[in-house]
């Protein structure tokens, strides 16, 4: 079967999606990964066929420039900038060009990033599709807190009312995207009940790479909403150089704030100040591309600072991960049994951080309250209490046993080959 993959042009989406695409290709399917020119290196590194579109609107180099302002934002301002300044224009371009690209490539079924409205295209063309949550899925029922908030999971009437208000906040934020989607649906004769958040979701399967065991309990998902576990396999990514010879063999702390909301030097300075206080520890800090290393101040003798790092390889050596609570970094840490101290900044990170604390695999602190002293204390709490590592190792066993990539591929094959709804596994 000829499968088309479309993902947001961001590393946190591309890494799991290209891994899933490679898994399905290994089972004999023909895979075409469709995207803007900037994702071609990542797709080629995964040894997948790449189909370019939106070249006029988004030529090479556009994605980094467009997303650069987000690096210095935090909280709801991150999502607000995304849905007001980036997503509507991006969606318009994709809706314009994707139909013709599907005709040209002869795609028979599609695997789509869940956080878009591109499903309107296969809906209008009568093409099967499934959706994948590469980020933390959003619960619109109010049973659990929406992912953009770091609220604890509680089952009281007050907590549910709070959650429902949070859902309304997300709905108001997303209005600019819905306006584009509604216009396209009307133009193409799609009859959609826009008051129903699930109206445009796949009726075959919606997959999340979040393990069931890592989620909050009690969300009333439909039967075809499926937990699989993470898609990473350590392969198919662009090579990253790293000075391995500089590792001392001391217990290692790996720190990274991801590739998007990582442009605030003061956060990195707090991390450096925190690890400097630790004895008998070496740290590796990956700062990304938005911070000038010269703005970080003196680098502690026990710390290596790099722009990019081979994350999974370093986590295999780590005793702790300091993270922004991006879902992929969190799942990669858990897959290695590494506990965490999380500093959520934006997007779904507060929700992921809340789950880190809820399941006892680490601690988290708000970026507004971050100091070197406070962070150092949290690090020492996690390192000194074996229960955090024991819980993280439990999740490593769960992830290994579940085999998320294989399970996700099974679900997608069953959905497309039988054209029937995949029941929860």
Question: For position 16, which CATH number holds?
Answer: 3.40.50.2000
Residues 189 and 45 in one domain: yes
**Quick one: angle between helices 175-187 and 87-105, nearest 10?**
40
How many domains does one find in the chain?
Answer: 2
Of all residues in the chain, what percent carry a pLDDT higher than 90?
Answer: 95
Residues 145 and 62 in one domain: yes
pLDDT of residue 424: 59
Tell whether 239 is covered by a domain. no
| Residue (of 132, 123, 62) closest to 95 by Cα position | 123
Residues 299 and 215 in one domain: no
Tally the C-alpha atoms within 13 A of residue 293's C-alpha that lie toward its C-beta. Answer: 10
pLDDT tens-place string over residues 125-159? 999 999 999 999 999 999 999 999 999 999 999 99
Residues 36 and 150 in one domain: yes
Tell whether 7 is covered by a domain. yes
Residues 41 and 142 in one domain: yes
Residues 272 and 254 in one domain: yes
Q: Which domain holds residue 134?
A: 2-234+402-418
Residues 39 and 78 in one domain: yes
Q: Across residues 300-329, what is the average pLDDT?
A: 97
Residues 187 and 251 in one domain: no
pLDDT of residue 233: 82
pLDDT of residue 315: 97
Tell whether 36 is covered by a domain. yes
Q: Across residues 389-399, what is the average pLDDT?
A: 98
Q: Across residues 294-317, what is the average pLDDT?
A: 95
Per residue, the 3-state secondary structure of 390-402, as one string, reads HHHHHHHHHHHHH
| Residue (of 65, 40, 68, 70) closest to 54 by Cα position | 40
pLDDT at 234 exceeding the cut of 80 = no
Residues 340 and 214 in one domain: no
Q: Across residues 295-324, what is the average pLDDT?
A: 96
Q: How far apart are CA 337 and CA 333, in angstroms?
A: 6
Q: How far apart are CA 204 and CA 223, in angstroms?
A: 10
pLDDT of residue 421: 79
pLDDT of residue 423: 66
**Quick one: angle between helices 404-418 and 11-26, nearest 10?**
70
Q: Across residues 53-77, what is the average pLDDT?
A: 97
Q: What is the mean pLDDT of the chain?
A: 96
* Separation in Å, CA 199 to CA 55, 117, 190: 31, 11, 11
Tell whether 425 is covered by a domain. no
Q: Which of 1-5, 162-166, 273-277, 418-422 has the lowest mean pLDDT?
A: 418-422
Residues 223 and 341 in one domain: no
Q: Across residues 298-316, what is the average pLDDT?
A: 96
Residues 151 and 249 in one domain: no
Residues 148 and 252 in one domain: no
| Residue (of 214, 236, 62) closest to 52 by Cα position | 62
pLDDT tens-place string over residues 343-368? 999 999 999 999 999 999 999 999 99
């Amino acid at each position: 079967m000829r499968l088309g993959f479309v993902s947001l042009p961001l590393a946190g989406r591309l890494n799991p999606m290209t891994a899933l695409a490679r898994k399905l290709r290994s089972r004999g399917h023909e895979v075409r990964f469709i995207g803007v020119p900037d994702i071609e290196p990542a797709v080629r590194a995964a040894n997948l066929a790449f189909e370019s579109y939106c070249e006029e609107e988004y030529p090479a180099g556009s994605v980094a420039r467009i997303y650069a302002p987000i690096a210095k934002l935090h909280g709801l301002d991150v999502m607000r900038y995304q849905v007001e300044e980036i997503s509507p224009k991006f969606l318009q371009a994709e809706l314009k060009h994707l139909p013709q690209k599907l005709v040209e490539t002869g795609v028979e079924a599609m695997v789509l990033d869940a956080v878009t409205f591109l499903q309107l295209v296969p809906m209008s063309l009568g093409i099967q599709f499934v959706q994948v949550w590469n980020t933390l899925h959003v619960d619109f029922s109010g049973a659990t807190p929406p992912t953009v908030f770091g609220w604890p999971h509680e089952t009281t009437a007050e907590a549910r009312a709070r959650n429902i208000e949070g859902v309304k906040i997300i709905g108001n934020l997303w209005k600019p995207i819905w306006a584009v989607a509604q216009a396209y649906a009307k133009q193409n004769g799609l009859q959609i009940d826009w008051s129903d958040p699930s109206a445009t979701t796949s009726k075959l399967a919606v997959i999340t790479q979040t393990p069931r065991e890592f989620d909050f309990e009690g969300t009333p998902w439909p039967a075809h909403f499926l937990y699989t576990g993470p898609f990473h396999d350590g392969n198919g990514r662009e090579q990253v150089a790293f000075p391995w010879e500089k590792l001392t063999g001391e217990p290692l702390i790996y720190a990274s704030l991801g590739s998007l909301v990582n442009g605030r030097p003061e956060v990195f300075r707090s991390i450096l100040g925190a690890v400097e206080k630790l004895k008998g520890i070496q740290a590796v800090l990956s700062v990304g591309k938005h911070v000038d290393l010269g703005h970080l101040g003196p680098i502690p003798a026990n710390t290596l600072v790099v722009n990019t790092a081979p994350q999974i390889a370093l986590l295999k050596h780590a005793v702790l991960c300091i993270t922004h609570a991006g879902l992929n970094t969190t799942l990669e840490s858990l897959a290695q049994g590494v506990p965490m101290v999380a500093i959520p900044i934006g997007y779904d990170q507060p929700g992921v951080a809340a789950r880190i604390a809820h399941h006892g695999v680490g601690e988290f602190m708000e970026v507004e309250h971050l100091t070197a002293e406070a962070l150092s204390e949290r690090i020492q709490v996690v390192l000194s209490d074996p229960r955090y590592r024991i819980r993280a190792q439990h999740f490593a066993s769960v992830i290994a046993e579940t085999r998320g990539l294989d399970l996700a591929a099974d679900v997608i094959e069953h959905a497309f080959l039988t054209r029937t709804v995949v029941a929860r596994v």
